[in-house]
A and B are shown apart, each in its own frame.
Chain A
């Protein structure tokens, strides 16, 4: 499992220097504009935009490819079926296999949109430290409870994942899931196994819950939720960037918004 979100967030590129708020708005609007297109002729345009942005971000291609692997498989499953079952215009037939035109076109559209959106989303998340991303979302109106939950969840995901994998190792070392002599009924999970896995998941919940109680105490001792002092949000606002950067960032935002509008207009016409 690769967890790292922001391992390339400290490179230097125009996209890394882009003011986080402008970047977030600009790229999100662009992503939705990508989702909006239905005209196949726009697919190359959309892919070209995404590719250019990724090139500008100076992140290695291997990063993108590693990110595409899992969702790619999932999409492949859905998509491979479309050309054969969807539509009426048969373009190729071999035995029971029938390739239909509408299906092929629909597949190209879905794949094109998917690639463009996922690449742009990766640029958005990959060029900003995660903490900055969440702070930016908060400054743009994300409720602070959700922002705080996101950051706390993020912080402890790694620890809890490590706990689970150690516990699973311990179970395997004591022979769990390794008894070959057991008879299995197809499509029926073994009740004993299910019960043990439920206690594994339950233990994970209990351990996390108990840790959260200790964390709350530690937070209280460092002033969290105290009434004596002015109550600050748990995490401070975004760091501001120098004014010279602002103009370029603003220019970048205007450009992306124009591109997005262009796409939508082209789609409607």
Chain B
């Protein structure tokens, strides 16, 4: 889910950057408050690369297959590093494969990164519900929600931007209906993304719990 160059007018592209810059600044400020930001840098960088590569895994969904976005999972694992990580990842996708583009980098980063930050906070809610649901169930429920909503939010922003910016001759109400409709059509994908996030978090809990325990 990337918006390529040329589709959006310059004003929207600039607005994208205008939102992405302060969000980046805020993330960096939170990162600099960590005990040792220099120690986190190599971890965040390698995980960014790993997420970037992992999103190329084909998930067979008969009769075809899909790629996952993984922005919700990225939020769960990277915390405040999620936004810079997405910025860097999208930059590489734009210049290496032409997924997205340089003018739309800001827009794309907002579209994927803000849902990732939301997902990161959703995942933290597992601590609130730990007593009620039990440690394991709480983690699983919130991992699923983080993954599903990370994708869902990104889809809503994507369709909103594309439909409102493509000259269509439809009125505002039809456009709105189209945004909701197309986003709802993403429900099955949200289920898959959420399930995948849940399975992956279960795997990490078993093999390398510190990956989801660390707070960045």
A–B contact with Cβ pairs below 8 Å: the answer is yes
CB distance from B93 to the nearest CB of A (A): 10
B103 in the interface, Cβ–Cβ < 8 Å?
yes
Q: Determine if B57 and A164 form an interchain contact, defined as CB atoms under 8 angstroms apart.
A: yes
Contact of B62 among A74, A78, A186 (CB under 8 A): A186
Q: Nearest B residue to A267 by beta-carbon distance?
A: B10
- With A75-B4, A160-B53, A202-B200 as contacts: A32 and B24 at CB distance below 8 Å: no
A209 to B39, CA, bound (A): 12
In Å, the complex CA distance between A116 and B101 comes to 12
Within 8 A of B (CB), among A244-259: none
Q: Which residue of A lies closest to B2 (CB)?
A: A74
The answer to whether A202 touches B204 (Cβ under 8 A) is yes
Determine whether the beta carbon of A121 is less than 8 Å from that of B95.
yes
CB–CB B99/A70 < 8 A: yes
A118 engages B5 (CB within 8 Å): yes
The residue in A106, A111, A205 that gathers the most chain B C-beta atoms within 10 A of its C-beta is A205
Chain A interface residue number, banded: 35 or more
In the complex the two chains form, is B102's CB within 8 Å of A106's CB? no
Decide yes or no: A154 and B102 within 8 Å by CB, A70-B97, A86-B167, A149-B45 being known contacts. Answer: no
Decide yes or no whether A61 CB sits under 8 A from chain B. no
Q: Contact string, B16-60, partner A, CB cutoff 8 A, digits 1/0?
A: 000000001000100100001111011111111111111011011
- Residues of B near A225 (CB, < 8 A) are 36, 38-39
Verify A152–B57 contact, CB threshold 8 A.
no
Q: Are B168 and A194 in contact (CB under 8 A)?
A: no
Complex Cα distance, B174 from A59, in Å, reads 46
B87 contact set on A, CB distance < 8 A? 146
- Asked if B116 lies at the interface with its beta carbon under 8 angstroms from chain A, I say no
Contact with B along A179-203 (1 / 0, CB 8 A): 0000011111111011101111111
Q: List 28 A-B contacts (CB under 8 A).
A: A28-B102, A31-B103, A35-B5, A35-B8, A35-B9, A36-B10, A102-B169, A113-B6, A114-B6, A114-B7, A143-B24, A145-B28, A149-B48, A153-B45, A156-B45, A160-B49, A187-B61, A193-B60, A194-B195, A197-B57, A197-B196, A198-B200, A203-B207, A204-B53, A205-B54, A210-B208, A213-B42, A215-B46
- Hey, which bits of chain B sit against chain A, CB under 8 A? 4-10, 13-14, 24, 28, 31, 36-39, 41-54, 56-57, 59-63, 70, 77, 84-85, 87-89, 91-92, 94-99, 101-103, 162, 166-169, 188, 192, 195-196, 199-200, 202-204, 207-208, 211
Chain A interface residues toward B at CB < 8 A:
1-3, 5, 28, 31-32, 35-36, 38, 67-68, 70-71, 74-75, 78, 82, 85-88, 102-103, 106, 110-118, 121, 124-125, 143, 145-146, 148-150, 152-154, 156-157, 160-161, 163-164, 168, 177, 184-191, 193-195, 197-213, 215-216, 219, 224-225
Q: Which 4 A-B pairs have the closest CB atoms?
A: A114-B6, A71-B98, A152-B45, A198-B199
